């Protein structure tokens, strides 16, 4: 983007300045001797024609260089970050990754060399033409001076002007090149600017009232937007792979979470649970039907109020590469240290933070202190507690924790969810048993609904899921549950 910046600062002022210089020089030379000026001007095409050719070549090379650099940046960010590097190492293909990268880097290097070569050629042509013109001026002017038709002083003045004429001309012929390289930068900027955000706030959006909130899904149909709808054209090479798979992920999903209730979603992998949870904070818009929070359709709500009311804890919470304090303050910038401690205490993570050498100033995130899975969840819950939303959307972690941190996470969860309206993707037995309502999702539909006991008694998909997903978490109790359920069914 620096390229685009240069367009206005240097390019424009250069063009105007150089044009003025050329006009004044040529005018002065014509005044002194029109014959010599004509000769000097006739030589111009000798220089300008190759200059244009070189300019065009350089423009194409510059564009290729930019594209390659962008691609390399992407590879660096995606493949060579902590998680990506781990994947590369684990699957044992680092040579291939390095090879890919080397290939691109080599091309960027070649482009640099070719650019330098062309630029040299350009300079040679310029110096040659300028010298030729000067030689002609001295020759023609010298003869004229001998014959007395031209003063010696005039000849010297003419050659001095000539020398000053070629530098701005060279720069002007380069404008073509500068404009082309600049256009490459602009192309990229406009591509980003022109991309309409998929989710937009309506001009007359209303505020969701604070206080006990409800969540309502009303005959929701939803399919993920295809790649070409969401990505940039220059990224399309990567994105088109998945462009064709546009099908409904959710069909006719209806349910209601009353204020203060906890509703849990269960179902096989790929059923659409995460998708349902992402519609509440309006990460996507529904295709049909509506999602309402406290009676307000999320498409009619202001983004600010939706963000304030709905808090999300994802399955694998992310932290910025920054101090714990900064990560927590992100949820509520004006929180005091006492409030931070209180939230950490409620999330059962205060003792760990206190034991860190730098305490709240410990740097976490990818390249900082690596929190364990259970610790991450508790810090994320502390962050949620600081934000104090009325609605919590939670994707429980699937990772099995040791019983000690499992117990701590459970206490933290009770603190975070207590008194709030929550929609939880359940992976814990304790969650499904506490839930006011369970929704069994399969193939994008709600196929069963009821409490844990009701569903076990019904003996449908939930019973099956229960035995495969939850029963092993608390073997004794699970056995008891089955025994309890059998007489009913």
Binding residues for Mg ion, rule: CB under 5 A, are 274
Q: Which is nearer to Mg ion, 27 or 270 (CB)?
A: 270
Cβ 168 to ligand ATP, closest distance in Å? 55
Cβ 468 to ligand ATP, closest distance in Å? 13
159 binds, among ligand ATP, Mg ion, none (CB under 5 to 8 A by kind): none
Contact call for residue 470 and ligand ATP (CB under 6 A): no
Among residues 439, 456, 462, 466, which one has the least CA distance to residue 272?
439
Cβ 275 to ligand ATP, closest distance in Å? 3
Judged by CB under 6 A, the residue of 274, 290, 302, 314 near ligand ATP is 274
271 binds, among Mg ion, ligand ATP, none (CB under 5 to 8 A by kind): ligand ATP
Give the whole-angstrom CA distance, residue 263 versus residue 267. 13
269 binds, among Mg ion, ligand ATP, none (CB under 5 to 8 A by kind): ligand ATP
Contact call for residue 271 and ligand ATP (CB under 6 A): yes
Contact call for residue 421 and ligand ATP (CB under 6 A): no
Judged by CB under 6 A, the residue of 126, 208, 213, 249 near ligand ATP is 249
Among residues 397, 406, 390, which one has the least CA distance to residue 313?
397
Backbone dihedral angles phi then psi of residue 478, each to the nearest 5 degrees: -60, -45
Judged by CB under 6 A, the residue of 269, 336, 355, 403 near ligand ATP is 269
With contact defined as beta carbons under 8 Å apart, do 4 and 189 qualify?
Answer: yes
Contact call for residue 281 and ligand ATP (CB under 6 A): no
Contact call for residue 273 and ligand ATP (CB under 6 A): yes
Judged by CB under 6 A, the residue of 272, 281, 317, 374 near ligand ATP is 272
Give the whole-angstrom CA distance, residue 129 versus residue 172. 15
Cβ 198 to ligand ATP, closest distance in Å? 12
**Interface positions, 53-92, toward ligand ATP (CB under 6 A):** none
Backbone dihedral angles phi then psi of residue 415, each to the nearest 5 degrees: -60, -45
Contact call for residue 173 and ligand ATP (CB under 6 A): no
- The region of 170-178, 186-194, 272-280, 376-384 touching ligand ATP under the rule CB under 6 A is 272-280
Closest-by-Cβ residue to Mg ion is 274
Cβ 427 to Mg ion, closest distance in Å? 10
- The region of 165-173, 254-262, 264-272, 457-465 touching ligand ATP under the rule CB under 6 A is 264-272
Contact call for residue 426 and ligand ATP (CB under 6 A): no
Q: Which is nearer to Mg ion, 170 or 279 (CB)?
A: 279
Q: Which is nearer to ligand ATP, 69 or 274 (CB)?
A: 274
Q: Which is nearer to ligand ATP, 125 or 266 (CB)?
A: 266
Nearby residues of 196 by Cβ (< 8 Å), 6 or more positions away: none
Backbone dihedral angles phi then psi of residue 301, each to the nearest 5 degrees: -90, 155
Number of residues that bind ligand ATP (CB under 6 A): 10
Is residue 192 classed exposed, middle or buried when 0-12, 13-18 and 19+ CB atoms within 10 A define those classes? exposed
Give the whole-angstrom CA distance, residue 209 versus residue 309. 8
312 bridge partner residues: 393
Number of Cβ within 10 Å of residue 12's Cβ equals 12
- The region of 69-77, 116-124, 270-278, 361-369 touching ligand ATP under the rule CB under 6 A is 270-278
Q: Which is nearer to ligand ATP, 110 or 472 (CB)?
A: 472
Q: Which is nearer to Mg ion, 13 or 245 (CB)?
A: 245
- The region of 19-27, 163-171, 189-197, 267-275 touching ligand ATP under the rule CB under 6 A is 267-275
Q: Which is nearer to ligand ATP, 42 or 241 (CB)?
A: 241
Q: Which is nearer to Mg ion, 137 or 253 (CB)?
A: 253
Cβ 382 to ligand ATP, closest distance in Å? 24
**Interface positions, 184-243, toward ligand ATP (CB under 6 A):** 224
249 binds, among ligand ATP, Mg ion, none (CB under 5 to 8 A by kind): ligand ATP
Q: Which is nearer to ligand ATP, 273 or 383 (CB)?
A: 273
Q: Which is nearer to Mg ion, 54 or 249 (CB)?
A: 249
Backbone dihedral angles phi then psi of residue 122, each to the nearest 5 degrees: -60, -45
Q: Which is nearer to ligand ATP, 247 or 355 (CB)?
A: 247
What tokens were used for 377? 């969840």
Q: Which residues bind ligand ATP (CB under 6 A)?
A: 224, 249, 267, 269-275
């Amino acid at each position: 983007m620096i390229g685009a910046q240069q367009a206005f600062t240097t390019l424009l002022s250069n063009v105007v300045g150089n044009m003025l210089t050329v006009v004044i020089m040529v005018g002065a030379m014509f005044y002194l001797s029109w014959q010599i000026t004509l000769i000097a001007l006739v030589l111009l095409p000798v220089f300008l024609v190759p200059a244009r050719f070189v300019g065009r070549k350089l423009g194409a090379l510059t564009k290729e260089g930019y594209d390659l650099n962008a691609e390399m940046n992407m590879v660096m960010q995606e493949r060579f970050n902590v998680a990506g590097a781990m994947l590369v190492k684990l699957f044992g293909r680092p040579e291939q990754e390095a090879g890919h990268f080397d290939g691109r880097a080599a091309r960027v290097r070649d482009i640099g060399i070719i650019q330098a070569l062309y630029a040299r050629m350009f300079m040679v042509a310029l110096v040659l033409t300028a010298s030729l013109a000067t030689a002609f001026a001295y020759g023609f002017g010298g003869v004229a001076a001998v014959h007395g038709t031209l003063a010696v002083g005039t000849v010297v003045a003419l050659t001095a002007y000539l020398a000053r004429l070629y530098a701005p001309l060279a720069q002007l012929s380069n404008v073509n090149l500068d404009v082309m390289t600049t256009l490459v930068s602009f192309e990229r900027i406009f591509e980003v600017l022109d991309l309409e955000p998929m989710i937009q706030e309506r001009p007359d959006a209303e505020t969701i009232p604070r206080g006990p909130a409800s969540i309502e899904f009303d005959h929701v149909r939803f399919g993920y937007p295809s790649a070409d709808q969401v990505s940039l054209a220059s990224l399309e090479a990567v994105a088109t792979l998945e462009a064709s798979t546009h099908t409904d992920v959710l069909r006719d999903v209806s349910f209601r979470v009353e204020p203060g209730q906890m509703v849990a979603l269960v179902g096989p992998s790929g059923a659409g649970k995460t998708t349902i949870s992402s519609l509440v904070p309006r990460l996507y818009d529904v295709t049909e039907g509506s999602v309402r929070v406290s009676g307000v359709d999320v498409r009619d709500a202001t983004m600010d109020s939706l963000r304030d009311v709905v808090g999300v804890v994802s399955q694998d919470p992310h932290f910025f590469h920054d101090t714990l304090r900064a990560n927590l303050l992100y949820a509520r910038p004006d929180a005091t240290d006492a409030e931070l401690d209180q939230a950490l205490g409620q999330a059962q993570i205060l003792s760990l933070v206190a034991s860190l050498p730098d305490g709240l100033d410990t740097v976490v995130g990818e390249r900082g202190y690596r929190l364990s899975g259970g610790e991450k969840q508790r810090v994320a819950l502390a962050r949620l507690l600081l934000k104090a939303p009325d609605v919590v959307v939670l994707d429980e972690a699937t990772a099995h924790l040791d019983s000690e941190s499992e117990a701590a996470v459970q206490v933290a969860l009770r603190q975070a969810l207590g008194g709030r309206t929550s929609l939880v993707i359940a992976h814990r037995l304790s969650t499904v048993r506490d839930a006011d309502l369970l929704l069994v999702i399969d193939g994008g539909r709600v196929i069963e609904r009821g409490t844990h006991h009701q569903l076990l008694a019904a003996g449908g998909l939930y019973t099956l899921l229960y035995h495969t997903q939850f029963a092993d978490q608390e073997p004794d109790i699970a056995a008891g549950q089955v025994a309890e359920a059998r007489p009913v069914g």
